[in-house]
Structure 1
Amino acid sequence: MSRSFVKMNGLGNDFVVVEARGAPFRPTPEEVRAIADRESGIGCDQLIAIEPTANADAFMRIWNADGSEVSACGNATRCVGWLLMQAKGDGRATIETLAGLLTTWAAGPRAVTVDMGAPGLGWRDIPMAEDMDTRGVELQVGPIDAPHLHTPGCVSMGNPHVVFFVANAELAPVREVGPMIEHHLLFPEGVNVGFCEVREPDRIRLRVWERGAGETKACGTGACAAVVAASRRGLAKRRATVTLDGGDLKIDWREDDGHVLMSGPVAVEFTGVLP
C-alpha cells in the first residue's frame, strides 16, 4: 500500500513523518536507511511513525537515520504535537513514546512547547557501565596530563546524553570526537554527544553529535541535557536559550516539579508518498 508522509523540521533537525494509525508501518532497518538517505531517498535525521494508542492522542515511533529505533526525540515531539493539534483544532496534544507520555501545547502559530518530563540523573538512568557521579564523569579525550576534553556531565532525557563543556563550540571537534564517544564502552546503549559553550548564565551555544544520525542542525533532547548539565555544575541558570546551528530553543528546567520544558518553532517542508 502507498504511504503518505509529511517532511518537517525543528530548527533544521528534519523528519519524515508517516501516518500509521490506519495500518501498521514497520520498516526494516534497510528501508529506514533508504528513506533517510539524502542522495537516493527522501532524506532525514529521523523517520517517525504516528501510531494509534489508547493512552494519548497518538503513539510516536522513532528511527534514526542508521535504522536503529530510539525512545525519544524532542524536536520530533514538537513537530508531531503540532500535526496533532492542527488535526484536532486544539491547543494541546499528548503523545506516547517508548520514553513515556509527553504533553505538548501551542507556543505560537508555528511554535510548540513540550514537557519532556524530569531528567534521569543517576548512572543507571543514562545508562552507564559503571557507577559514577553524573555531574562530572571520569572521561577525557587527549593526553592524560593535558586532555582536550574532560569531565563531561551525563543526563538522560529519555535517551542518553554526555555533555562536554568547551571554550568555543564553533571550534569543537564534533565530527572527530563525536563518533568515538558515541560508541564508548562507558555507554552500553551508545550516547548523544554535546559540545556546550556557556556564553552567559542564560545563553548556551551547543553542537551535537546524535547517536545514529551524526551531527545535526539541532537536537531538542540535547538542548535540554545541556541546560540540566550546566545548571548542575553551577555554570548556567535553569532557564536558558540554547543556540544550535539551526536556531534557538528555550529550555526551562522547572524547580517545582523538576520537569524540563522545551519551546521552539516547527516547519513543514513538503508532503509526498513513500516509494
Structure 2
Amino acid sequence: MSGSSMAFSKMHGAGNDFVVLDLRDGQAAPEAALCARIADRHIGIGCDQLLTVEAPRSVGAVASYRIWNSDGSTAQQCGNGARCIAAWLVRDGAAPAAGDFVIDSPAGTHAVQRDADGGFVIDMGAPDFIPAAVPLHGWDVAQDEYLRDVDGIAIRFGAVSMGNPHAVIEVADVATAPVAELGPALQANAAFPQSVNVGFAEVVSRDHVRLRVFERGVGETLACGSGACAAVAVLARRGRVDMDRAIAVELPGGTLRIRYDQADGRIRMGGPTAFVFEGEWL
C-alpha cells in the first residue's frame, strides 16, 4: 500500500483525532510502520488513531472498521472513533441519513442511534469487571477497588474491560493529577499484561465527571470514548454516580454523554463529531 496514493478524511470527536481510510474495495491495510508515520504530527498527517473502513463482518451491519494507535499498534475499541465512522458512513451514503444502523468494530457489533441534536449514540456494550477479562493479573474476583504498588507508590484503581482494558483512578482534582507519571507506570506494570488505558476521574456531582485519559499506544489524548464509559462504569459500581441517567463526562477536548442502563447493563455514549479536511497521502 505504501507504493500508491491513499485518499483520507481527517476527523475528530471531542478533540480525539483520526485519519480515516476507505478500504472497502479490498485494498490492504497499511503496515504498522506506515500507520505510525501517517499518525506522526511532524512528518505525517497527525492523529491519535488511524481508522480503516472495511466490508461488514456481521449480517445487517453497513460496514466494519479497524483501529491503529499512533505508535502503529492495533486497538480493539474506540468510542470517539465509532462515532466518527458513523458520521463518515452517513456522509458516504453507506448508512441511512435518518434512523438507526449497525457497524462492526474489532470488539464486536455496535448499534448506532441518531441523537436529538443530529449526532450519534453508540451502544458500547456491557462493561466486564472480571479481572481475567480486562486482563488484570493478581486477582480472581472483581473488586470495586484494587490496590497495587507501582514504583513504590500505592495506587488505588478500578478496572474494567470495555472491549479494551481500562484502569480508573479517582482523584480530587483532575487538573493536577499526575497523568504523565502514573499513566505509563501503571501501563508497564505486570498486573496489566496487555497494558491498559489509564483514566483519572474527578467526581463533580452524581451526573458530572471530569476525566483525563492516558491511552496505551498513544499517550494522553483530548478525549477517550471508551475511557469515559469505563470511568462511569467503575464509578457507578461504587455508587459515586447514578445509573439510568446521562452522565456528562468532561474531557479536555469536549464533553461526552454516557448512560449506563441498569435494565440491560449496557453503556451508550453520545458526543460530537467533526470533519476537519480531506486529503491524499502520496
> Which TM-score tier does this pair reach, normalised by the shorter chain?
over 0.9
3-state SS in 1 of match to 2:113: strand
Which residue in the other structure is 1:116 paired with? 124
Distance 2:123 2:226 in 1: 11
Distance 1:10 1:182 in 2: 24
Structure 1 unpaired stretches of 5+: none
3-state SS in 1 of match to 2:277: strand
3-state SS in 2 of match to 1:154: strand
Measure how far apart 1:142 and its partner are: 7.0
3-state SS in 2 of match to 1:138: strand
Q: After TM superposition, list the pairs within 5 Å mapping 1:172-187 onto structure 2.
A: 172-187=177-192
- Partner of residue 92 from structure 1, selected from 95, 100, 115: 100
Distance 2:172 2:30 in 1: 42
- Partner of residue 45 from structure 2, selected from 42, 61, 74: 42
CA separation of 1:31/1:123 partners in 2, compared to 1, >3 Å: closer, same or farther?
same
Distance 1:199 1:109 in 2: 25
Distance 1:140 1:247 in 2: 32
Contact 2:13 2:274 survives alignment (8 Å):
yes
Contact 1:46 1:65 survives alignment (8 Å):
yes
Which residue in the other structure is 1:81 paired with? 86
The reply to whether residue 138 of structure 1 matches residue 147 of structure 2 is yes
Distance 1:24 1:94 in 2: 22
- Partner of residue 29 from structure 1, selected from 14, 32, 54: 32
The C-alpha deviation readout for 1:35-89, integer Å capped at 9, x for no partner, is 0000110000000000102511111100000100111000000000112223233
RMSD: 1.5
- Partner of residue 200 from structure 2, selected from 191, 195, 219: 195
The one-letter amino acid of 2:160's match is: V
Distance 1:171 1:14 in 2: 24
The reply to whether residue 219 of structure 1 matches residue 224 of structure 2 is yes
Distance 2:169 2:147 in 1: 12
Distance 2:7 2:169 in 1: 40
Distance 1:143 1:23 in 2: 50
CA separation of 1:215/1:157 partners in 2, compared to 1, >3 Å: closer, same or farther?
same
Q: Which runs of 4+ in 1 moved over 4 A?
A: 140-144
Contact 1:105 1:112 survives alignment (8 Å):
yes
Provide TM-score, normalisation by structure 2.
Answer: 0.92
After TM superposition, the structure 1 stretch with the greater mean CA deviation from structure 2, 15-24 or 125-134, is 125-134
The one-letter amino acid of 1:253's match is: Y
Provide TM-score, normalisation by structure 1.
Answer: 0.94
- Partner of residue 258 from structure 1, selected from 242, 245, 265: 265
Structure 2 unpaired stretches of 5+: none
The one-letter amino acid of 1:92's match is: D
The one-letter amino acid of 1:185's match is: A
Distance 2:57 2:34 in 1: 28
CA separation of 1:54/1:228 partners in 2, compared to 1, >3 Å: closer, same or farther?
closer
- Identity over aligned residues, as a percent? 43
The one-letter amino acid of 2:108's match is: G
